[in-house]
Amino acid sequence: MVNMKRVAVATVIGILTGLYCTGSLVISPPPGVTPEPWFMVMIFYGRILQGFVIGITDGISLHPVLRGAGIAEPAEILDRRSHRRSRKGIRLLPPWTWHAASARHPRSGFRDQERATHHPPYPG
């Protein structure tokens, strides 16, 4: 059953964020960009739609969605206390993770990873 209050709140938040995004585009557009009406309507509509979808997705399990999108994989997590019982769960695949060791630090191996993926170095 869909919780109508949740749908209403999420849709109103979508309307407010849509107004904020389009308003900020009108008030201070990026240099060299002229905001066109159709583009602002699409931004506004997209934010409302996002809010509505978030509102109606109450109770949907995200595990199959994340696995289907290739973002996560099934994993078993050991219980810290007993070290015997395991729980089923998911973990993010490496391209979707970030941790403190991936920051620019001489011993983190970040520069080696940069060379391996052939990305230009981070400026700064």
Task: Dump pLDDT digits (tens) for 54-111.
Answer: 888 877 777 777 777 777 788 777 777 776 767 777 777 776 666 555 555 444 444 5
Say how many domains are in the chain.
2
Q: Do 80 and 42 share a structural domain?
A: no
Q: What is the pLDDT of residues 42-62, one digit of tens each?
A: 999 999 999 898 888 877 777
Give the model's pLDDT for residue 123: 57
Q: Report pLDDT for 76.
A: 78
Note the helical H segments in the chain. Answer: 4-27, 37-56, 63-68, 110-117
Are 92 and 65 part of one and the same domain?
yes
Full domain range(s) for residue 32: 4-56
Phi-psi bin for 59: left (phi > 0), alpha (psi -120 to 50), beta?
Answer: left
Residue 105 within any structural domain of the chain = no
**82 inside domain:** yes
Where residue 12 falls among pLDDT bands split at 50, 70, 90?
very high
Q: Are residues 51 and 38 in the same domain?
A: yes
